[in-house]
Amino acid sequence: MVSFVRETHRINANGVALDGWLYVPQAQGPFPAIVMSHGFAAVKELYIDTFAEAFALAGFVVVLYDHRNFGKSGGEVRGEIIPSEQVDDMREVVTWLSLRPEVNAERIGVWGSSFSGGHAITLGALDRRIRCVVSQVPTISGYQNLLRRAGVHIHSVLEGFQKDRAARYRGEQPGYRRVIAQDGEPGIFSSDGAEAFFSAAWTLAEGWQNRVTVRSSEKASEYEPGLLIERVSPTPLLMLVAEKDTVTPTDLALAAYGRALEPKRLCMLADAHFDPYVKHAPLAKREALDWFVRFLG
């Protein structure tokens, strides 16, 4: 185990300055490296900084950053999530990291969780600079997620997307939705686990806003990283799947894993979607670290 220093950097990605933390081991480099980002509406202070610390202590350079329009990163419209933009930004972060003198550019991996778990699969499929993928409780099918979450209200949800699109076209302000319930407004996520997870952001992350644009939900419903999972190979893929996940449903993740080609590994985690961040974090960290050490370190 080695010590590390954490530096704050502004990383240019497609014209937007992303706020990132760079963890550098205090030893002789260059080092293998890992790119990390958080999921839907979350920021880097929300528990996954402890994952970055564990990887850095094991001898990896790590960059952990906020997506555009969130946290201390730049970008407009605030609270807007466009999957293709986040994926393109992640690839720019890979480029930035590969040019760092502390980094061995031939040994770069990616770690993503929830929505960015889908990004990790996408990068693994599309960018051969990525030599190792860890995808934790990943988004597999935005469309299936929408159908399950909306249920009998699916048609009114779709009508809401179109009304918001028309309003934007007229020059009106974008519509917003709460991430979790607040001030009498319902949230996108309503479970006890989601409430506990996101409400912690008010303490852990200065300035976190409990809202995303309506367009974010529309674009999330169109995001299908599972369609690319067969293309990740020959890059090694580790998937960590929660047994009782209803946010990124367990059955969708297991079906996608079944389609993935070798080399691959599946780690089942007990309980629900938000439990890997704290309750089962020791196991989730250990599994991810073992995978990175095996294929990068």
pLDDT of residue 166: 98
Tokens of 90: 């992640």
pLDDT tens-digit series, residues 174-184: 999 999 999 99
The matching CATH number, chosen from 3.40.50.1820, 3.10.450.50, 2.30.40.10, 3.40.50.620, for 4-148+224-295 is 3.40.50.1820
In contact, 112 and 94? CB cutoff 8 Å: no
Q: Is the pLDDT of residue 216 over 90?
A: yes
Residues in the chain: 297
d(CA 181, CA 31): 43
d(CA 145, CA 223): 10
Kindly report the pTM of this predicted structure.
0.97
Which spans in the chain are helix H? 48-57, 83-98, 115-126, 142-150, 154-169, 192-199, 201-204, 214-221, 250-259, 281-295
Cα atoms in the 13 Å half-sphere on the side-chain side of 15: 3
pLDDT tens-digit series, residues 92-109: 999 999 999 999 999 999
pLDDT tens-digit series, residues 266-285: 999 999 999 999 999 999 99
Q: Is the pLDDT of residue 1 over 90?
A: no
In contact, 18 and 66? CB cutoff 8 Å: yes
In contact, 60 and 31? CB cutoff 8 Å: yes
Three-state secondary-structure class, residue 227: helix
For the chain, which residues make up each domain, given as ranges?
4-148+224-295
d(CA 296, CA 2): 17
pLDDT tens-digit series, residues 107-154: 999 999 999 999 999 999 999 999 999 999 999 999 999 999 999 999
